[in-house]
Structure 1
């Protein structure tokens, strides 16, 4: 067990570029608790969305800092049990799950099974169960030791992508035959496009910045790739749905104003943090009301429809198809880049926050 003092990377909730490393007390475990040493985690624009919508979607509540104004951004990754006072969870076991940007985490395992456990801490009981589950790598059908980085980077994003596509199809695409995806170079967007491209009669249109046009075109899952200032290339009477990964208030305004057959606005995230639609007024927009997509609701519906085992099988099958494409393409869609240590973590965070860097690069951080 490490004797180093635990540390947590924290951000100012109202100024996300303002960060610090905070030294945490090393508290002894109480009966039933486990201490996990966090080995690595992914940092993507999805995590910036967690911060941007931290209050509205309760993301700050998963790992509270105890200090007003400061938050800890949740991430997905791997950790190993360093100390255990819980029967059924052994020292040395590796778990995939939802972690703070920190060196360690103390959990209160509940519902321990061969597959893993749920964190039973009081402050997480009212939070979505999908984020409270820790999967035992030795029994996880998603897990492959050779592709841990890809799993950290893409698994939670692809699950969201799978659910967005399923939600839209489940609702008959709201009568639309064209899907407009903003921030089309983002991992959740192109995962969604990969799924949507399988749907007959659906045109998948990428909206992106000029610098990311070539990347989006190289993926082969978009019917067309346009820059944000090329909306006029799409007929104004196109029956379309907007899948909003950018969260840009100005782009949302332009889309709602141009397309008189806009059937649905599915709001996913906020990669454009300086122009978040969530911070602006959408009351006067023409067309449908922007509706925030909440993945756990679709999970719950599909488990009811298909059963937990049926849902899991469909998801794993889609995941394997996706990762074969991502890693097996002549030019891989994603290349993991490692960052170790506090300074490197902080630099990677600022790069992702600013929306800089190559979209083909995935950041793996080791605190």
Structure 2
């Protein structure tokens, strides 16, 4: 038995290679899972772009200096178990390497799932270490696994961004304008979908010219503008910048133009080639949003069950809209096999695909 992994050079994300090796033996208390399918989106590119700063490379260390494995969300089946609480054949949802299999060390088991207790993950955030049993997962339906893999982690981030802004009374911009870059990305339009349900909020999507029509078709943006059309927005309007692109030049332009910018929220880095620092900016400091921190806060405020109920309700509303009508927001494209996985990665990294397409990969 062997395992195949897509390795990425950490300082040159376009440089990849497939690595195949004999499967490592299990120790007592471990399980081997076959990674059946996983989603690849711009969110995963963000994991790589911020791999060192946010410890994403540490989840699945390669043991090779300079090379990493990008974490992905998807589904796996337990293929071998040396843990009495996890049965062969169980289907799991969670955070996996871009590989054909993974070895997990289940701890803190209950009916809903378990956490990976591998020593190297002990200091990493618990949200990413949790694996859910599909048989007891309120989000799960067998017919929508692809949509779950593609949108669930992104929508949870979207939900939390919207909640974080509302929780902070929109930093004094309540009734103002929300500027969302990379508006065609799934996390951005999930955030726009949530924000659009709040009265008095204008949600402006910023995107490249080729994605304007797609963003307008979603119906969740008040207006859609290209990055070159900032002058069409009133400069003194109270606003918040929610930055999914990570484009340093665009960030500086927005901070320079909008004198009443109340908050600058940095989410991701879809514009990998244009990433840059946020020093010496006019206006508020660009602040990185870390979703697990808001999860922790709301778990205290509402309890874990209360947070879960709110998330499931919002998820159901969102996904019912995603699949509606003659032009659904999401069309799934399957990529199977080592060569297809590597090619799909390059496509998503380049950011040139159809924004309506969601990529599901499997080795």
- Please, which of 298, 301, 306 is the counterpart of residue 297 of structure 2? 301
**What corresponds to 2:329 in structure 1?**
333
Equivalents in 2 of 1:128, 1:25: separation in Å? 29
**What corresponds to 2:145 in structure 1?**
148
SS in 2 for 1:283: coil
**What corresponds to 1:71 in structure 2?**
68
SS in 1 for 2:24: coil
**What corresponds to 1:193 in structure 2?**
192
- Please, which of 7, 11, 15 is the counterpart of residue 4 of structure 2? 7
Whether 1:170 aligns to 2:167 is yes
Alignment of 1:2-41 (within 5 A): 3=1, 5-41=2-38
Equivalents in 2 of 1:348, 1:27: separation in Å? 27
Equivalents in 2 of 1:47, 1:314: separation in Å? 25
Alignment of 1:266-285 (within 5 A): 266-277=265-276, 280=277, 282-285=278-281
Question: Unaligned 5+ residue runs, structure 1?
Answer: none
Equivalents in 2 of 1:30, 1:153: separation in Å? 32
SS in 2 for 1:307: helix
C-alpha distance after superposition, 1:141-197 (max 9, x if no partner): 001110000000000000000000000000011111110000000000000000000
Equivalents in 2 of 1:194, 1:74: separation in Å? 26
TM-score normalised by length of structure 2: 0.99
- Please, which of 317, 320, 323 is the counterpart of residue 324 of structure 1? 320
Alignment of 1:255-274 (within 5 A): 255-274=254-273
Whether 1:349 aligns to 2:348 is no
Equivalents in 2 of 1:365, 1:323: separation in Å? 21
Deviates most, 282-291 or 246-255: 282-291
C-alpha distance after superposition, 1:100-123 (max 9, x if no partner): 000000000001111010000000
Size of the alignment, in residue pairs? 361
C-alpha distance after superposition, 1:14-41 (max 9, x if no partner): 0000000112332221110000000000
C-alpha distance after superposition, 1:231-253 (max 9, x if no partner): 00001101000000000000001
**What corresponds to 2:284 in structure 1?**
288
Whether 1:311 aligns to 2:307 is yes
Whether 1:234 aligns to 2:233 is yes
Equivalents in 1 of 2:129, 2:279: separation in Å? 34
**What corresponds to 2:158 in structure 1?**
161
Whether 1:362 aligns to 2:362 is no
Equivalents in 1 of 2:235, 2:270: separation in Å? 26
Question: Unaligned 5+ residue runs, structure 2?
Answer: none
TM-score normalised by length of structure 1: 0.98
Equivalents in 2 of 1:330, 1:200: separation in Å? 28
Alignment of 1:39-78 (within 5 A): 39-78=36-75
**What corresponds to 1:93 in structure 2?**
90
SS in 2 for 1:351: helix
Equivalents in 2 of 1:168, 1:321: separation in Å? 20
How far residue 329 of structure 1 moved from its aligned partner, in angstroms, is: 3.2
**What corresponds to 1:118 in structure 2?**
115
Equivalents in 2 of 1:315, 1:263: separation in Å? 27
**What corresponds to 2:243 in structure 1?**
244
SS in 2 for 1:143: coil
Equivalents in 1 of 2:197, 2:171: separation in Å? 17
Equivalents in 2 of 1:284, 1:338: separation in Å? 44
Equivalents in 2 of 1:170, 1:55: separation in Å? 29
**Runs ≥4 residues deviating over 3 A:** none
How far residue 328 of structure 1 moved from its aligned partner, in angstroms, is: 1.9
SS in 2 for 1:159: helix
**What corresponds to 2:183 in structure 1?**
184
